[in-house]
Structure 1
Amino acid sequence: MTASHEFELIEWIQTRCPVPPHDLLSIGDDAAVVPPQLDKELLLATDMLMEGTHFTFPPATPELAGRKALAVNLSDIAAMGGVPHSALVSLALPRNRGPEFAKAVMQGLIDLAQEFRTEIIGGDTNSWDGPLVINVALMGTASRTHSIKRSNARAGDWIFVTGDLGGSLTSHHLTFTPRVKEAAILKETVSLHAMIDVSDGLASDLQHILNESGVGAVIQSHQIPISQCLSTELSHAERLQKALSDGEDFELLFTVSPEDGQRLLDQNPLPIPLTHIGEITGEQGAKLQQPDGSMTALESTGWKHQF
């Protein structure tokens, strides 16, 4: 973009972002100012999304690409039991698509930010001859010492997942709802031991919890909530594998004590399904148990960036 176009885009973004609270310095200066909150932990998350890897045009629209760039970061804050606060947005914009394309990308992002009461407080804009690249750095807060980490799963814990899994790339990876509100409800209802969002696939993301906590797990294959979006032409084994490894579902995977787990089963406090899929064990490694009782190793399948 030319310098005038860049400044015009920034001014356009300013007109569409709410006036920040009096204690927050936002777009218009060399740096944003976020005052510290003494009783809070500051959570920081960032993700870079690239055209051709995380979305393509079509089926994505510019608005959905922008929306997803913020949504994946909101999902990370939710997984920590936090509340989103403010975001920095950086764009590498294709020169050949013009200013209206750039505005559409930002509009999708701004709309989701407003839905989750998140301030857009700054960022950077660049142009080049490559595809669209969006980077969002999101700040959130959690009560001091009360953020939920991956490292506190305990032997005997029950493992739960929200929603259903699989088929995201053909159905909802551009339109999923970050589980910020659901995480807040769970945090108020039970004592969450460990939590992660399912971005790379259930089998892979579960392994992150197990590695950080130094524990193992047994997952019940027949209890995994398989998405109805998956083709009925696939065999059950194929649909199960997709639920385990497709990724980009952005549901919450978490562990709680058996007592809290039973409380969640007796009365689900969420507006979405909540499923008990297995237990944490003291013996390291993940296993998948079939209905007949036989067990196999649960391989850490799922998305991995290759370098």
Structure 2
Amino acid sequence: MTGEFAYISWVRQQTAGDARVPIGIGDDAAAVRLTSGRDALITTDMILEGVHFDLSRTTPRMVGRKAMAVNLSDIAAMAAVPVAAVVSVGLPGDLPQQSAEELYHGIRGLADEFSVALVGGDTNLSRSGLVVSITLVGETTQRGPVRRCDARPEDWILATGSFGGSIVGKHLEFTPRVREALALHERYDLHAMIDVSDGLAADLGHILEESNCGAVLRASKIPISDAARQMPGPVSPLDRALHDGEDFELLCTLAADDARRLLTEQPLGVPVSHIGFITAGRELVLEADDGSRRKLEPMGYDHFRQ
């Protein structure tokens, strides 16, 4: 690296000239101009070398892309429009300048795809590998945000895409479902929604906890990815779909009539599946093909238990 301030100066040159950012890099805080009367949503995610990625198996550009993507996925989960981001990085002292620039280009490439302004951040020396933390600001639509806390008994549970086996590559290469979430929110009355990062069972569990509800998942209806089906080892494809995590698909609940219409119209260009329904109880239950049921523990990725 050529030095912290030289790197900051280089990043500042790359981010200049966005009309939504009257005050950008250079002051103690940035200013972002939002549309009057709408809420700003703020989310943050950190990814660490040795936990979320291995630089011997991927590139700094892909790491930067993932760091932005996981934050965009959180904004998608609330059906909001991403606006601006603050990026903080801990750079190892032996990281080449070219790698630091590639990291930035990975972040910037996905930011540009979703019209996100990069407005500032922080840099520091890391003695324990590469660290990237992004704070993303989003803006709600006129319909407001979709939250986790309004799932209702008899709601249908729908999910985009497929689940399991993301470690094969999807966890680095996925495209956050921002456009899909906005399209769903515009056309249907979504009661609750979340992005599946910790695992299908775990993230449904978050909805149930916030909504004081239970759910039945139908095993035969869960879309299992090809990657999960092809992975060797003792873990079944179904268990991978339920618990692997980092699928970054949308999981939502809505009334049966709206759900039927959505499933008939399939408006997203990505499959939407009906995988279960919300109940008035408090348990998460998995229903097998023969109709038998067992309690499903909403376990998934937990950083402090790995």
TM-score interval (norm. to shorter): over 0.9
- The 5-angstrom pairing of residues 77-116 of structure 1 reads 77-116=75-114
Conserved 8 A contact 1:157-1:257: yes
Q: 1:67 to 1:258 in 2, by over 3 A?
A: same
Q: RMSD between aligned alpha carbons? A: 1.7
Asked whether the 8 Å contact 1:94–1:127 carries over to 2, the reply is: yes
Q: CA deviation at 1:232?
A: 3.4
Contact kept in structure 1, 2:67 and 2:133, CA below 8 Å: yes
Aligned with residue 42 of structure 1, among 36, 40, 50: 40
Residue of structure 2 in register with 1:230 after alignment = 228
CA-CA distance at 1:205 after TM superposition: 0.3
TM-aligned CA deviation for residue 52 of structure 1: 0.3
What letter is aligned with 2:169?
S
Q: Matched residues in 2 for 1:74 and 1:263: separation? A: 27
**Structure 1 position 68, deviation (Å):** 0.6
1:210–1:51 CA distance, 2 compared to 1 (3 A): same
The equivalent position to 2:250 in structure 1, one of 252, 258, 263, is 252
Any conservation in 1 of the 2:84–2:117 contact (CA below 8 Å)? yes
Question: What is the CA–CA distance in structure 2 between the aligned matches of 1:214 and 1:236, rounded to whole Å?
Answer: 34
**1:41·1:144 contact (CA, 8 Å) conserved in 2?**
no
Is 2:284 the counterpart of 1:282? no
Moved more, 35-44 or 114-123: 35-44
Moved runs in structure 1, 4+ residues, more than 6 A?
none
Aligned to 1:279, the other structure's residue is in SS state: strand
Cα pair 1:75 1:197 within 8 Å, conserved: yes
What is the CA distance between 1:16 and its match in structure 2? 2.6
Any idea what the Cα deviations from partners look like across 1:170-215, whole Å, max 9, x if unmatched? 1210010000000011011100100000000000000000000000
CA contact (8 A) 1:5 1:99 kept: no
Following the alignment from structure 1 to structure 2, what is the Cα–Cα distance between the partners of residues 39 and 100?
42
The answer for the alignment partner of 2:151 in structure 1 is 153
Alpha-carbon deviations, 1:252-283, whole Å to 9, x = none?
A: 00001001100011110101010000000011
Please list, as runs of the form range in 1=range in 2, the aligned pairs for 1:38-187 lying within 5 A after superposition: 38-143=36-141, 146-187=144-185
Q: Which runs of 5+ in 1 are unaligned?
A: none
Q: Given that residues 153 and 210 in structure 1 are in contact (C-alpha distance below 8 angstroms), is that contact kept between their aligned partners in structure 2?
A: yes
Moved more, 244-253 or 15-24: 15-24
Distance 2:17 2:52 in 1: 31
Work out whether 1:7 is the aligned partner of 2:5.
yes
> TM-score normalized by structure 2?
0.95
2:304 matched residue in structure 1: 306
1:202 equivalenced with 2:200 (yes/no): yes
Measure the CA separation in 2 of the matches of 1:267 and 1:29: 49
Instruction: Name whichever of 15-24 and 181-190 sits farther off.
Output: 15-24
> SS where residue 136 of structure 2 aligns?
strand
Q: CA deviation at 1:236?
A: 10
AA partner of residue 193 (structure 2):
M
**Cα distance between partner residues in 2 of 1:237 and 1:103:** 39
Determine if contact 1:71/1:112 at 8 Å carries over to the other structure: yes
Instruction: Quote the sequence identity (%).
Output: 45
**Which digits, 9 at most, give the CA deviation of each residue in 1:45-81, with x for residues without a partner?**
0011100001111322100111111110000000011
Structure 2 letter corresponding to 1:31:
A
Which blocks of at least 5 consecutive residues in structure 2 are unaligned?
none
Separation of aligned partners in 1, 2:20 and 2:211: 41
Q: Secondary structure at the match of 1:59?
A: coil
Once the two structures are superposed, residues 225-252 of structure 1 have per-residue CA deviations (whole angstroms, 9 ceiling, x without a partner) of 0001224365997000000000000000
Distance 1:270 1:98, change over 3 A: same
Structure 2 Cα separation of the partners of residues 46 and 150 of structure 1: 17
* 3-state secondary structure, aligned to 1:109: helix
SS at match of 1:68: helix
AA aligned opposite 2:249 = E
Distance 1:240 1:140 in 2: 34
Residue identity matched to 1:127: L
Report the secondary structure of 1:230's partner residue.
helix
SS at match of 1:283: coil
